[in-house]
Structure 1
């Protein structure tokens, strides 16, 4: 049933399937979500990240709010900053790639901001039971208010590129960085160190993962420092903002990109599309598992257990049409909205595997990235191996792909520290690794 407008109260209309995610319109927000096998979808609107229950809930009527495999609804009189989440019901058939859990609150896979309430619990997202009061939640984002000041991207040639690999949290964390205490370990802190980067001759910074991750995704008593375990592919990690706020993080990141560009330094992102923070069959349900598990992960067709070519519990089904589209959409987002200049793909060889885990001779995703017109000016760099023995340095697909040479790194390091029997390997690496 359709809810109609009444003063400034929220109201709903049928909505549209495109674009995916939460799209801010003139009088409200359109929500669109992919789930082929869901039997029931409910959208919840929350007053804050800490809210234990929703202010408004809308159960989507399939005859009004669904076309094909997409569920959608327009909600009027809401906008930027609105906190929301979904509950999705459907069959529990792991052997068929289906792991619906009607009790779990799910974030939007196209979220551009994610919040964690004070009661957030990773453990509550594992196993049976409701977790609304302890769930992470999505936030509606309007990206239209940032001033780029007409600063242009440098576009250095690869031959002239000097890349500095950088952990955003660690780069300025220590007092010896000289950065003010309030900005240490943040995007803003890096801006203060731009003169240092220029002095070193750096032409590009490669930021280790800045996509939102769960710091609690770690052994008990520890925290996830590195961030190689994304929750989704669009949101900026809130912990790298001065305010530790998911919305503030967006503009802080954009400001960093703008000021690095002003200094003639490009920004390359280390992106993780090979696995997510949901882990294996014993891990939490945050998003993908509870929407259409088999569309997002490679699973065993008999047991339903997760393939683990990433070494991190699960493996993204990157050449499934739905996830392939999402990865391309994410890359487009980081280029068009966030103005980044390139990407280094973590365990990129995973992205060459099909839905059964077999390496493909002509992987659609990698060729799409290679030939995409929006990405044509970006630098695309593959970590050309995975955790299951697939090693493609020297043979990675495509016309534009560049490869990190792990053998160069290892052999140069071994020679430098004086290991025996390394002289010939050192010479081969300096000559450009003709053996591979």
Structure 2
């Protein structure tokens, strides 16, 4: 029986034997070149498949690649065709059917508000990119001091700041609160109430991406504080908060969504909670993170290993030098939602069964690459709820005033502890 050392060396010995027989034969032995075996299918094509033009090429693009295709006789949308050479004159390696995996935010309807705007990409609710079944995205801008009102939604929210600084606030189901200024990343779990406000650090305010872990997400269907209270009878509000109906005479009659507000102070602190602040921050200083250098570019990664609260979404910021490429790869179980900040790129999706398609991207575009789909079920072992009273009590009073115009007296009567069951008044 061979020793453990021999077993460990065996692969190397076998490799040396193969290399030896490949590179030569013992002296005195006649050799002859063996023919290559015939493939069971044709060899892959050697046809060149580089992009044929770019967005700024001074040409009228045609549906031709080498000897394939023909000129276009009908009308053309030249600017759009210049941006998408791989669709008009695709590589010969493209084949079959792959759903559209490109969406420019420039094609999204924009919701304009006093103080900012928001536009979105969804795969299911609006179906602008149906392939995006697992993740949806929003691009939002807030002018200095403007507020994305107190709200929550049924998807986790992950944010990437493109320019400026925002002040975010949140309160957990356990009554812990968190307020911070952020210029990089933030994350809120599904169902956790929060707000976003542009600081005065940048005269232009702030612009950011919001990414949600649910392709059914719709930015227009979030649960808004003002929308909720506008649809609750005032006598119920008075009973819930143990105050008079007159205290709510000036609350908005409909949702605010995005609206102007006073610029928050840099050292803004949340009200002191009897349950303390959150054990982990809901922000992450991604901008200061040192990237990992690779031969063709750099990579930075933030996930639950270094951004502890981000349990459902991770980010990789990848810089690819001109002419370099992100190596051929796939994600075993997770979809990829990519936003192009600078430059241009080309991505080919392989969807198995001979299906492949190539797309061209410019800055401001979204790419979506499905992962190998699986299913995950978690056991719910702890009941949690979020108290409206406690949420408002532990939110900076200036934000509550900006939303509901409540008096200082009414705000002082808000409960920092969950009432749970409200006593008769």
Give the TM-score range, shorter chain: under 0.3
Scaled by the length of structure 1, the TM-score of the pair is 0.21
TM-score with structure 2 setting the length? 0.21
**Structure with a larger share of its residues in strand:** 2
Higher relative contact order (CA 8 A, sep 6+): 2
Q: By percentage of residues, which structure has more helix? A: 1
Q: Return the index of the structure with the highest Cα Rg.
A: 2
